[in-house]
Structure 1
Amino acid sequence: MSNNASCTTLVAKFYGVNPRSMQRQYKDYLSDFKSWDQKSHARNWMLFPQNIGGYLSLDETAFSNGDLYTIITNKSAKGKTGAIIAMVKGTKAETVINILRKIPLKQRSKVKEVTLDMAGNMGLIVKKSFPNATLVIDRFHVQKLALDALQEIRIKHRWDAIDLENDAIEKARSKSLKFTPELLKNGDTLKQLLARSRYLLYKSSSKWTKNQSQRAEVLFQRYPDLEKAYNLCQNLSWIFNNSKDKTSALIRLAKWDEKVRKAEFKSFNTIARTMSIHYKNILNYFDNRSTNASAESFNAKIKAFRAQFRGVRNIDFFLFRLASIYA
């Protein structure tokens, strides 16, 4: 079904028929779109109670024009048929809760665990809709916040380096001299060093290439604060990878929090405060090591599906095709 548009185009070309005309024929006559039982409200919400399971993911995605949809998926479907439980336009908790309450309470009470991010509306949706579910904050969402803080420090240094270079160029011109930037021992200029270090900061040092290792050595010598922030990110990742239970994880996260306070990075302090507010739901990860990876993977499939059809011109039919495949 995901290849219907491309297939109809190929068939149309083979028989010398206008592709758009054939796609219209498919939509209006060959598919079940006109008799689809969710057609009247699909643009605002779709609901598939039969797909509910014990372990769910809650996330949001955008279709077109920046419109956000809240999506609840069943982990056991692994992003295939039976994955979609509900799709609701918008992210307002009250709206999503009202739609989910169309599912009988007996069914909703079977949900044991829901993975989500730290957004307050997401937590409220789970608490009001799935009374017996444990909330698990996605570890990768937590780690991404730390990585964003690290990159924020790098970007600030990069802007400073650009300003310094611009000042040096203007000074050289005022003296009718040719500007030659300083080359560091790995061959980068300072501006290049900071731009090219972006990806190595996302990775563990054990996964660096030889060039990345050399670049990191120069970077950390020049900017000790970046090394300190990088180590905080890696330490956080190590805690999630190596803690076997909630107790050991809690102790290690408390020690990490102390390191953050001593480092005196504003962004990291904000992350530490956020984590302290949500620590119970973050620690729930260590029960089953559940993540929102399935939801992220499903979002990627939706984006790829959207790209295949060059955007979403007919939202209702797009949702029909999406539901036909994944619901």
Structure 2
Amino acid sequence: MDNHPISCYHLGHYFQVEGKQLQEQYKEHISDYSGWDQKDHAHEWMLFAGNLSSRLSIDETALSNGELYTIITNKEAKGRKGAIVAMIKGTVAEDIIGVLKKIPERSRKRVQEVTMDMAANMQLAIKRCFVNAHRVIDRFHVQKLAYDAVQECRIKYRWAALDLENQAIAQARKDKAGYQPEVLSNGDTLKQLLARSRYLLFKHHSKWTAVQSKRAELLFERYPQLKHAYELSLRLGDIFKVCKSKEQAFKKLALWYNQVEDCGIEAFRTVARSIQSHYLSILNFFINRSTNASAESFNAKVKAFRATSRGVRDINFFLFRLSKIYA
């Protein structure tokens, strides 16, 4: 809150209070912050065991100065009151486990599903604390790996195009001649083609505009391996869209692995190895088709709340206010 005078009305009279003074009054006297039962340790961890449900999400978010907190949320609260189960400073598995084990074991055994990303610390914490829960790796994190592999291929070609252009410019200067890059039929140079293709490679071809379709045609004509990489990313996405069971998805993934091995694109082989390392948790998606979207949405709410507070000056009081809304 900025330290500007605020007009207040009381018993027929107006008076002014400095913003900072009003904030202090709220913190120390109006709110019940002073008697908050989590006040002494909130900056390290908060726990609301009563918000535990059978379906949870786990993710991390930055509160201030890049300081990360691990957040466990109750999916059934749908991002409203009762959403926060725990917030723990840092991402160390043992710290997360230490806090979550404060919840009675009988309650923890009722948890049936936890969605997450591929972070090893989160996998270990959930495995140790919620022994009966299916660990579900978010499908969008898996697909993002494939998109990143496509972009890695594009960036590799872009750097090569930059090198060729720089060599051509240097040669033109040496020959005391002007340099004019090749201009393609859509008006792009080769360097521009590779730079401007970034966003279309994230989209399904059915959603391309006419301009993007033309750009993709020129791109894939010159770089067929990039086209192959793009098609592999779409096929991986189709597995999550089309398959109705773990068994069906397992067979489709096996075929996809074979295509990756044959393509010779190292970035996709890395993606395939990552999927193989986590395939059981990835296949658990097909039980209830659960994602970590609720956790991502809650993180966005935390960041929006932080923005309305103009940053985080007092971590404990910020967490107190957050808990009042969402815990």
When normalised by structure 1's length, the TM-score is: 0.93
Q: Is residue 68 of structure 2 the alignment partner of residue 68 of structure 1?
A: yes
2:84 aligned residue: 84
- Report if aligned partners of 2:113, 2:136 keep a CA contact under 8 Å in 1: yes
1:194 aligned residue: 194
In structure 1, C-alpha distance between the alignment counterparts of 2:285 and 2:208, rounded to whole Å:
28
CA deviations on 1:219-263 (whole Å, 9 max, x unpaired) are: 111111111000000000001000011111111000000000001
2:174 aligned residue: 174
The amino acid of 1:266's aligned partner reads E
In structure 2, C-alpha distance between the alignment counterparts of 1:41 and 1:9, rounded to whole Å:
32
- Give the number of the structure whose alpha-carbon radius of gyration is greater: 2
CA deviations on 1:147-188 (whole Å, 9 max, x unpaired) are: 111111111111122222222222223333332221111111
2:302 aligned residue: 302
Q: Is residue 83 of structure 2 the alignment partner of residue 50 of structure 1?
A: no
Structure 2 unmatched runs, 5+: 9-13
Matches within 5 A, 1:231-246: 231-246=231-246
CA shift at 1:9, angstroms?
6.9
1:314 aligned residue: 314
Q: Return 42-51 or 132-141, whichever deviates more.
A: 132-141
In structure 2, C-alpha distance between the alignment counterparts of 1:176 and 1:33, rounded to whole Å:
75
Q: Is residue 251 of structure 2 the alignment partner of residue 251 of structure 1?
A: yes
In structure 1, C-alpha distance between the alignment counterparts of 2:144 and 2:235, rounded to whole Å:
13
Q: Return 132-141 or 25-34, whichever deviates more.
A: 25-34
- Report if aligned partners of 1:12, 1:18 keep a CA contact under 8 Å in 2: no
In structure 1, C-alpha distance between the alignment counterparts of 2:254 and 2:299, rounded to whole Å:
33
Structure 1 unmatched runs, 5+: none
Q: Return 20-29 or 255-264, whichever deviates more.
A: 20-29
Q: Return 295-304 or 80-89, whichever deviates more.
A: 295-304
In structure 2, C-alpha distance between the alignment counterparts of 1:305 and 1:180, rounded to whole Å:
52
CA deviations on 1:13-68 (whole Å, 9 max, x unpaired) are: 99654323322322222222222211100000000011100100011111122221
In structure 1, C-alpha distance between the alignment counterparts of 2:59 and 2:115, rounded to whole Å:
9
- Report if aligned partners of 1:61, 1:71 keep a CA contact under 8 Å in 2: yes
In structure 2, C-alpha distance between the alignment counterparts of 1:149 and 1:259, rounded to whole Å:
15
The amino acid of 1:178's aligned partner reads G
Give 3-state SS (helix, strand or coil) of 1:79's partner: coil
CA distance 1:15–1:270, shift in 2 (3 Å): farther
In structure 2, C-alpha distance between the alignment counterparts of 1:164 and 1:235, rounded to whole Å:
33
CA distance 1:190–1:73, shift in 2 (3 Å): same
Give 3-state SS (helix, strand or coil) of 2:56's partner: strand
- Report if aligned partners of 2:5, 2:17 keep a CA contact under 8 Å in 1: no
In structure 2, C-alpha distance between the alignment counterparts of 1:226 and 1:118, rounded to whole Å:
26
In structure 2, C-alpha distance between the alignment counterparts of 1:20 and 1:221, rounded to whole Å:
62
In structure 1, C-alpha distance between the alignment counterparts of 2:248 and 2:128, rounded to whole Å:
31
1:219 aligned residue: 219
In structure 2, C-alpha distance between the alignment counterparts of 1:10 and 1:213, rounded to whole Å:
57
- Report if aligned partners of 1:138, 1:290 keep a CA contact under 8 Å in 2: yes
CA distance 1:30–1:97, shift in 2 (3 Å): same
The amino acid of 1:123's aligned partner reads Q
The amino acid of 2:188's aligned partner reads D
CA shift at 1:12, angstroms?
5.2
- Report if aligned partners of 2:5, 2:16 keep a CA contact under 8 Å in 1: no
CA distance 1:169–1:132, shift in 2 (3 Å): same
Give 3-state SS (helix, strand or coil) of 1:256's partner: helix
1:275 aligned residue: 275
CA shift at 1:10, angstroms?
9.1
The amino acid of 1:64's aligned partner reads S
2:94 aligned residue: 94
2:11 aligned residue: none
Give 3-state SS (helix, strand or coil) of 2:43's partner: coil
Q: Is residue 127 of structure 2 the alignment partner of residue 137 of structure 1?
A: no
- Report if aligned partners of 1:79, 1:326 keep a CA contact under 8 Å in 2: yes
The aligned length equals: 322
CA distance 1:89–1:186, shift in 2 (3 Å): same
